[in-house]
Homo-oligomer: A and B are copies of this chain.
């Protein structure tokens, strides 16, 4: 994967409706996935985005491509949010709390996606590599900043933290009595 295709097909398009629809579609798909799970029908996604199904298929040749694009889009959003939160938040620890919240949103989608992808595993390992590649440094940056501010009492690594959050989110999409977000918040609070 090169830096050139990091933005996907969105960057190269000339017509503005194309760019707008691509963006709208990714957001609509993400919303549909959290509302109805990864198997939300393409028609639902199209109607959420206010476009026809034909438009969906022009941008994403297959349903699976759309799911993957949403995944990458969320990895990117999560990665970019790190520095932004750090600059905006009152303290690094607050930034870390907020970032963890975004991360949970993303993980719920990711787990549903992993479950949906056992059959055609093509590209899923590559996606996981992309996931680690993009997010580990961001998480580490947040942790380092909090440590530098004297806000951390544990020497947890970024990987350990992400692993811990990830494990707390396992099964969260199937069990309404299990509140992964709360547990993650407690974990992050416990770092203080």
Chain A residues with a Cβ under 8 A of chain B: 115, 118-119
Q: Which of chain B's residues have a CB closer than 8 A to the CB of A115?
A: 118-119
**Chain multiplicity (copies):** 2
Chain B neighbourhood of A118, CB < 8 A: 115, 118
A-B contact pairs, 3 of them (CB 8 A): A115-B118, A115-B119, A118-B118
Distance between A102 CB and nearest chain B CB, rounded to angstroms: 26
State the CA gap A118–B37 with chains docked (Å).
14
Q: How far is the CB of A56 from chain B (nearest CB, A)?
A: 24
Note all chain B residues with C-beta closer than 8 A to A119.
115
A119 to B119, CA, bound (A): 14
Could you tell me the distance between the alpha carbons of A115 and B118 in the complex, rounded to whole angstroms? 7
A146 to chain B, nearest CB (A): 37
